[in-house]
């Protein structure tokens, strides 16, 4: 059965970085194939994976407003275009949502998208969804049940409480979330005792299990500046070891 892993958090906390590290984790353990979905309108997961994007789902939705090729239904056309939009690599595929619908939203396109995603999901044991702060994309893709919601925060009590509010919006969207975890990202290394106490106090108040802390990393900055894939990070690097410990805790 397909497991849905959704990222959430306010902008700038490192959701996309965490998604790339998680993809590396799943690939390295042969927990594949994985479908990685970049559902942020400001898409950049492909850059961390060293991939070029040629077609997004936002562009496909716009195409559906026009003429459909003769002999095809709209859902057949949508399914064909989604397969064309998949960026394939060893152990995973990447799909980019692109810009959301603007004025004159073609809601039927989202219905076709949901139907097609439902079929597509059967091919993957794991789907990673890198979200914006909101999670409306999960509804559009018909992913109503989330197995793991990983909420990424900066290393502050206020940031962690913001993470709790983000987690709470799943209810109004009609999403069922089986497991929720907090990941504190870009923390000083070592974590000062005072900051550790504030994180623990905020976690207890928010009622979110703390999966772990990832340190601020010059290695990740250099990897991104060089344009090299995060999947090529050394396994013995500090950030990869920290991420591995976190994901071992979550998926054990």
- Is the confidence at residue 114, as pLDDT, over 80? no
**What's the structural domain count of the chain?**
1
Give dist(CA 211, CA 62) in Å, integer. Answer: 39
pLDDT average, residue stretch 140-161:
82
- Angle at 15 (CA atoms; ends 9, 20), nearest 5 degrees: 160
Q: What is the CATH number of the domain that holds 192?
A: 3.40.50.300
Q: How many CB atoms lie within 10 A of CB 120?
A: 20
- Angle at 112 (CA atoms; ends 98, 116), nearest 5 degrees: 85
Give dist(CA 138, CA 160) in Å, integer. Answer: 22
How does residue 39 score in pLDDT terms, banded at 50, 70 and 90? confident
Per-residue HEC secondary structure of the chain comes to CCEEEEEECCCCCCHHHHHHHHHHHHHHCCCCCEEEEECCCCCCHHHHCCCCCCCCHHHHHHHCCCCCCCCCCHHHHHHHHHHHHCEEECCEEEEECCCCCCCCCCHHHHHHHHHHHHHHHCCCCEEEEECCCCCHHHHHCCCCEEEEEEEEECCCHHHHHHHHHHHHCCCCCCCEEEEEEEEEEEECCCCCHHHHHHHHHHHHHHCCCEEEEEECCHHHHHHHHHCCCHHHCCCCCHHHHHHHHHHHHHHC
β-strand pairing of 145-153 with 176-187: parallel
Give dist(CA 128, CA 138) in Å, integer. Answer: 11
Residue range(s) defining the domain that contains residue 67? 3-251
Phi/psi at 242 (nearest 5 deg)?
-65, -45
β-strand pairing of 3-8 with 145-153: parallel
Higher pLDDT, 224 or 134: 224
pLDDT average, residue stretch 78-92:
91
Please give the pLDDT value at position 106.
47
Q: Out of 96-100, 103-107, 168-172, 174-178, give the one with best mean pLDDT.
A: 174-178
Higher pLDDT, 94 or 112: 94
Give dist(CA 110, CA 113) in Å, integer. Answer: 5
Q: What are 8-24's pLDDT values in tens digits?
A: 888 888 999 999 999 99
Higher pLDDT, 3 or 202: 3
- Tell me the whole-structure pTM to 2 decimals: 0.90
């Amino acid at each position: 059965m397909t497991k849905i892993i959704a990222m959430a958090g306010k902008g700038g906390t490192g959701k996309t970085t965490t998604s790339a590290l998680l993809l590396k984790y799943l690939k390295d353990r042969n927990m594949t194939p994985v479908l990685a979905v970049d559902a942020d309108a400001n898409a950049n997961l492909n850059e961390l994976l060293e991939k070029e994007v040629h077609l997004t789902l936002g562009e496909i939705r716009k195409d559906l407003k026009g003429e459909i090729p003769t002999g095809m239904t709209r859902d057949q056309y949508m399914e064909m275009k989604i397969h064309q939009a998949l960026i394939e690599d060893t152990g995973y595929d990447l799909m980019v949502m692109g810009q959301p619908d603007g004025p004159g939203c073609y809601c039927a396109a989202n219905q076709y998208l949901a139907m097609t995603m439902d079929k597509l999901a059967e091919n993957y044991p794991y789907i990673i969804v890198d979200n914006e702060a909101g999670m409306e994309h999960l509804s559009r893709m018909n992913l109503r049940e989330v197995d793991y919601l990983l909420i990424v925060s900066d290393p502050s009590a206020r940031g962690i409480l913001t993470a709790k509010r983000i987690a709470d919006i799943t209810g109004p969207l009609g999403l069922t979330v089986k497991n929720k975890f907090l990941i504190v990202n870009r923390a000083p290394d070592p974590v000062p005792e005072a900051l550790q106490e504030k994180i623990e106090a905020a976690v207890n108040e928010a009622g979110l299990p703390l999966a772990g802390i990832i340190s601020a990393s010059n290695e990740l900055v250099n990897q991104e500046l060089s344009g090299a894939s995060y999947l090529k990070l050394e396994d013995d690097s500090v950030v990869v070891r920290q991420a591995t410990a976190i994901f071992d805790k979550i998926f054990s």
